[in-house]
Structure 1
Amino acid sequence: MIEDYKVRKIAVANLIILVTLLVSITTPAILFIGHADTTTSNGQSIAGYVKYTLLLYDNVLIDGNYNGTYLGIGPSGIAYDPNNGYFYVADSASCNVSVIDPVNNSVLDTIRVGFGPYGVVYEPYVKYIYVTDYESCTVTVINPYLRNELVCTINVGPGPYGIAYIPPGTPLGGYYGSLIITHYGSVVQGTTTITWIFNIGLSPAAGTSGTTDLGIIPCSLGIFYDPSNNLIYVTDFGNNTLTVIGSSFSSGLYVKAIIGVGSGPYAIAQDPTDGYLYVTNSRSNTVSVIDPINNSVIDSIKVGLDPHGVAYDPSNGYIYVADYGSNALSVIEPMNNSVIATIQVGSNPCQIAYDPNNGYLYVTDRGSGSISVISTVVPSVAYQITFTESGLPPGTLWSVTLNGITETSKTNTITFNEPNGVYEYTVTPFQDYTVSPSSGKITVSNSNVIQQIVFTQVSTGQTSTSTSTQSTPSSTSTLPITRTSTSQTSTSSSQPAVIPNITTITGVSITYILLGAMMIIILLLVVIMILVLRRH
């Protein structure tokens, strides 16, 4: 009796272990497949992908992503010049600034600056580029219109890091605009300073350079100026706070508020639609969302490892975060402050800048010495428009023109792939045949469409007629494509070699299949367990 009980107990225990292992293995796979709404069918994220990578070391452009070895260049800060359309990249390890032409994504020039360049900003009044030289304790001024020649070097004190431009007509900007520079780890008698170069637009050398002792920012990194409220926001890496700085004509700069954020705050970006600020916290791997109206944290978003730079993309409204330790970008949807996608980029992504001309994001990859060019354009979703003929002899060549594109076939079907829209079509007539309908319009609205075409042979002495058949939607699969032409004629398909697979199983279908399979296996195991118990 005791031995029989032990056998039953062992059998039951083994079956329970098998069921547990099965559930633990299949459940993550099901959840992963079911959560397939952030990528298109070609594997690209809906929020973007690496279209090109520019290797700064030898000025080579490659397709797709590259995560290579460290080449001693260390691209860090980046700024866009709207006048010439170029990017200026601070190469912190090589003491240079690389000038990037986004038209062909190549290095146009390399400018020698001070030691440890990091922060870069464009000043629109005189149209100069300003670069903070961390190790040289200076700011280098570049004139893009004189072959990127150096204008001058301004001594600003130890550890200049972040830099922001303040436009004229404000207490901060004065008559000719100003620069605000943060100092990382620059402690003078227990306090630190922020450098305020007043009236910089008059002349860099003639601008009034001075320091403002705020005494509470021992490790200031990121800096952001909000023109809507005329306030400056500075991240205090050491105290885990965001300092809000105001200004007045009488007293100059003053601390307006101090906001507690995550650990190791680094950079700042703003969503202009609601004014919220997004602060990356490099040590806690989070992004703090700040409401500037009441200076409070309204949300905290978990992202990748060691987030550094952050940028807003006006083309899709997303926030992009450079996860320095994950070699990736976290993409945040501001509507619900959630990460909707992750884009793998080069090694140690540092800062991000947006090009309004081509809509790409440019990411400095400090570890791989490269620039990742991110395309955020989501491919259009195309649907099948199928024309099916009846009435012609088998093997007869017939043709249909849709939206200016002509396709021919010797079978009874002709297929086009088009996104949502309304498209005009015509059917090429045949001698001794009437065709119905001979022309018309096709409306594509989130589904495939089938249009019946009826050819009727004309008998001697009489004319046959037929009833027009309306186009009907079809509920088959969709296909992401990128259209490159809308008006050309050919005898073969003009689409970019993409044919929808009607039998393709979607992520949701696979989820249900796996769930069903798992339930069947569990049921079989239970039946086996009952049989074993009865046997013993």
Structure 2
Amino acid sequence: MDKKVKLIKIVVSVILLLLISGFSVMAYISLNSIHNANENLKKVLNYSSLSALNFEMINLTNWNYITSISSNGNLLILTGASLSGNPTFGIFYNQNYTFIDRSNLLPGHVQNLVTSCYGDGIFLIGGGTFSNPVLLEYNSYGYIVDLSSSLVSNNNNFGSVNSIAFGDNIFLIGGASNAYSPISFFYPVSNQFVSLTNNIPYYFATNHNLWNGNNFIMVGAKAGWGGSPGTPPAMGLVYTNGNFEDLSNILPSYVGVMGEIAYNGYIYLITAENSSNGAQIIFSFNLTNDDFNYLTNLFPAGLNINTITNYQNNFLIGGNFNSNKPYLAVYFPLNQTILNLTYIIPSYIKNINGLFEQNNTLIIAGQTLNNNAILLSNKNNYLFKINFIENGLPSGTPWSVTLNGTTKSSTTNTITFSEPNGTYSYRIATVNKSYSPSPSSGKFTLNGEAVNLSIIFKFQTYTITFIENGLPPETNWSVTINGITKYSTGENITFTLINGTYTYNVNVPSGYIIVENGSGEINTWNSGSKIIIKAIQTPNNSISIIPIVVTIIMVIIIGVLINEIRKRKNKK
């Protein structure tokens, strides 16, 4: 009996040990996964720290959802719809997380604002219905100019404006009507519209326009083919001279009506309907080699992708599941992998319908569980490392870098700053003045990646030249500095010195004296200076014997004459 009890205890202990071990492994895997996700997000978004993601929530009062985001680098323009269904328009300043609703500026006929874009000092905002096109200009003075009538009078027969893109000083405006899909260029400098409708197939219905750095790409559907699924997709290039190249025939057979599009510099990421069943799909496309990659299987089932944006050659993707659960991820095109970031989204968000990056801050447009539109602004700036790496200083020598007024010092060979994108100036210094940095100062621009700057310290020497004036040719003379004496029979004596202050003495042969700059103090910051030494022959101070002899003879003669005169007087 005792043996059975002992055996049971042993078995129970083993089971408990296995269970504890299993929980520990699961906990480790879970924690490790979170750690890896954080590390990956650091790599993706270049955050300096993810210890506490700090979202600022900006509630857009009375807004139901956001339909477009555009920026001029200083502020965001938002369009959307109110809780009552009316069009909305507002401005967000992410420097101080301030939102201002300017819907009161909208003209009365405006409906259904869906797109906006910035270029050449103005924002263009578009929308409307099939019978009521909307095109508005929001300028730097804070006014809205209604350009809607220009679309109609320009014989474009616009019914609505679906997408606006800007590039090469031109806005491309794509729209739709009951009959066909009009397209226009708008030149903001001359305030001129140019219709491209005759250049583009009548059936081309534009859903999205995009500037790729050289020309515009348009995606959408072939209008007039009935409802989807079954409606063929449409894709083409619009060149800045107005020419059009239809690319619809190269699209894979699984592609239906095309929706969102983003470009990272070498591939496009595009959403579309599945041509057979109408379900949403996502694929990539390389225009240079017509290479397509079907990516839908990389994403979870039931996902509705609302927005795609490029960030650092990767793609941020936002959406929702069944309109009540958000989704945020990064797609890495180089290895075709997905990093799910939904865990960073606050629990009160049910949908993500806009993503934007401005001034090193990630802006997320979303919708709360209460159907209110909000902005999430991540206060943690994207910080990038600036490494100053020195070479040439003796080990342990203090040196410093002053970057935009902030100084850091070190006795190692590297000084590191972490800063957001921008333009920076710097200055290099060291306490050891025998070494000179190269470069000693400069400027650079931080643009989305770390910067390494090499600083070379060189042992600095200085020349001082002494020039004699007044000695006969081939006369030997010398100069002594800090115990080191140099001789010359010429006019010059040159010293090469490290940085510092020195005393000197000049020596000339006997028979000559120095009347100028015979000794003194010199500083190496006067490198290249010349010190003129003036010497003259020593004045002769010996007494000549000839005048003495002459004087003695004269005295003797005078004395003899006086004596003779006296003798003669005595005889008389």
Q: Where does residue 356 of structure 2 map in the other structure?
A: 353
Separation in 2, partners of 1:22, 1:264: 53
- In the TM superposition, residue 76 of structure 1 has moved relative to its aligned partner by 1.6
* Alpha-carbon distance in 2 for matches of 1:240, 1:364: 30
- How many residues are paired up? 356
CA contact (8 A) 1:198 1:207 kept: yes
Q: For the residues of structure 2 that align with 1:251 and 1:330, how far apart are their CA atoms?
A: 37
Supply the distance in 2 between the matched residues of 1:28 and 1:240 (Cα, whole angstroms).
48
C-alpha displacement of 1:290: 1.2
Q: CA deviation at 1:210?
A: 4.5
What code does the residue aligned with 1:54 have?
I
Give the CA deviation at 1:96: 1.9
CA deviations on 1:24-52 (whole Å, 9 max, x unpaired) are 97765453333231216999996665532
- The change in CA–CA distance for 1:312 and 1:255 in structure 2 (over 3 A counts) is closer
Q: Which runs of 5+ in 2 are unaligned?
A: 1-11, 48-52, 223-227, 386-397, 402-406, 417-572
SS of 2:372 mapped into structure 1: coil
Q: Residue by residue, what CA displacement relative to the aligned partner does 1:65-95 show, whole Å, maximum 9, x if unpaired?
A: xxxxxx443212111124xx22111123341
- 1:34 is paired with a residue whose SS is helix
Equivalent in the alignment of 1:180: 173
1: CA distance between counterparts of 2:315 and 2:244? Answer: 33
Normalising by structure 2, we get a TM-score of 0.50
Which AA in structure 1 matches 2:67? Answer: S
Structure 2: distance between partners of 1:268 and 1:128:
21
The offset of 1:222, in angstroms, is: 2.9
Instruction: Specify the SS of the correspondent of 2:31.
Output: helix
Distance 2:381 2:221 in 1: 32
Give the Cα separation in 2 of the matches to 1:50 and 1:117. Answer: 31
Find the aligned partners of 2:20 and 2:253 in 1 and give their Cα distance.
Answer: 45
> 5 Å matches for 1:221-236?
221-228=207-214, 231-234=217-220
CA offsets 1:245-291 (integer angstroms, 9 cap, x no match): 1357697564554345667753111112xx11112458867642211
**Any conservation in 2 of the 1:281–1:306 contact (CA below 8 Å)?**
no
Change (3 A) 1:167 1:349: same
Q: Which one has a larger percent helix, Structure 1 or Structure 2? A: 2
Whether 2:134 is the aligned partner of 1:139: answer: yes
| Deviation string, structure 1 residues 170-209 (Cα, Å, up to 9, x no partner) | xxxxxxx3423144xx6x4xxx633212344366575547
In structure 2, do the counterparts of structure 1 residues 41 and 369 end up closer, same or farther at CA, with 3 Å as the change threshold? Answer: same
Rounded Cα–Cα distance in structure 2 between residues aligned with 1:50 and 1:279: 31
Let me know the Cα RMSD of the aligned residues: 5.0
Which letter does structure 2 place at the counterpart of 1:338?
T
Partners of 2:216 and 2:43 lie apart in 1 by 40
Considering fraction of residues, name the structure with more strand.
2
Give the alignment partner of residue 310 of structure 1, picking from 308, 311, 330.
308
Out of 143, 151, 165, the residue aligned to residue 146 of structure 2 is 151
User: Counterpart of 2:112?
Assistant: 116
Matched, 1:198 2:198: no
- Kept in 2, the 8 Å contact 1:267–1:309? The answer is yes
SS at match of 1:306: strand
Listed one character per residue, the Cα deviations across residues 330-381 of structure 1 (whole Å, up to 9, x for unaligned) are 12233323223404154321122221xx211222224431112135746789
Secondary structure, counterpart of 2:36 in structure 1: coil
- 1:99 equivalent to 2:91? Answer yes
Q: For 1:103-502, list aligned pairs within 5 A.
A: 103-110=95-102, 111-112=105-106, 114-124=110-120, 127-134=122-129, 137-153=132-148, 154-155=151-152, 157-167=158-168, 177-183=170-176, 188=178, 193-201=180-188, 207-208=194-195, 210=197, 212-215=200-203, 217=205, 220-228=206-214, 231-234=217-220, 243-247=234-238, 252=244, 254-255=246-247, 257=249, 258-260=251-253, 265-272=258-265, 275-280=266-271, 287-298=282-293, 300=295, 302-303=298-299, 305-313=303-311, 316-325=312-321, 326-342=325-341, 343-344=344-345, 346-355=349-358, 358-366=359-367, 367-374=371-378, 377=381, 424=409, 440-441=411-412
Query: Which among 54, 61, 65 is matched to residue 58 of structure 2?
Result: 54
Q: Which amino acid aligns with 1:232?
A: M
Deviation, 1:164, is 2.2
Between the two proteins, what is the percent identity of the paired residues? 10
SS in 2 for 1:221: strand
* Ranges in structure 1 where 5+ consecutive residues have no aligned partner: 1-13, 58-70, 169-176, 382-400, 405-421, 426-439, 446-536
- State whether structure 2 residue 77 is matched by structure 1 residue 88: yes
Contact 1:53 1:370 in 2 (8 A): yes
**Amino acid of the structure 1 residue aligned with 2:332:** E
CA spacing shift, 1:103–1:198, aligned 2, 3 Å = same
Q: How far apart, in 2, do the equivalents of 1:138 and 1:147 lie? A: 22
Contact 2:284/2:295 (<8 A) preserved = yes
2:364/2:375 contact within 8 Å kept: yes
Contact kept, 8 Å, 1:320 with 1:331, in 2: the verdict is yes
Higher mean alpha-carbon deviation, 111-120 vs 255-264, is at: 255-264
String of CA shifts for 1:480-533, please: whole Å, max 9, x gaps: xxxxxxxxxxxxxxxxxxxxxxxxxxxxxxxxxxxxxxxxxxxxxxxxxxxxxx
Partner of 2:30, secondary structure, is: helix
* Deviation, structure 1 residue 135: 7.1
| Distance of aligned partners of 1:91 and 1:135 in 2 relative to their CA distance in 1, 3 Å threshold | farther
Using the alignment, how far apart are the partners of 2:207 and 2:237 within structure 1?
18
User: Contact 2:184/2:197 (CA < 8 Å) preserved in 1?
Assistant: yes
Which residue identity lines up with residue 103 of structure 1 in the other structure? Answer: Q
**Which structure has the larger Rg?**
2
> CA–CA distance in 2 between the matches of 1:339 and 1:182?
33
